[in-house]
Amino acid sequence: MLYEVVRVRALPNYRLAVEFRDGVSGTIDLSGELEGEIFEPLRDEALFRQAKVDEFGAIAWPNGADLAPDALYAEIIGGAVSAPRPALEGEDKSSSNPASRR
């Protein structure tokens, strides 16, 4: 997975502290996003605090709700994310990595 969450911690007011494998980290505010059949139950703070990183590097809860890591990454860095292009034969693989993030 390109953007893999390695650590998540539930914070007050429906926020999550998130850290990615590449070191990018930040806080996601979900206070205005907990709507619909899957996410509305997370308004129960006891359930919200059960956020964990699943085996795919996504944030998930016991009720089946989950958050895509690429969308979280984009929100933290303040822009869209894209997959790096594959290196061409003979090309230095380090040149195909995305630009350094904050």
Q: 8-41: per-residue pLDDT in tens?
A: 999 999 999 999 999 999 999 999 999 999 999 9
pLDDT of residue 57: 95
- How do the domains of the chain map onto residue ranges? 5-79
Rounded CA-CA distance 20/24 in Å is 5
User: 5-79 belongs to which homologous superfamily?
Assistant: NE0471-like N-terminal domain (3.30.2020.10)
Average pLDDT, the chain: 84
Q: Give the SS3 label for residue 47.
A: helix
Look at the block and give the residue holding tokens 């009720």. 63
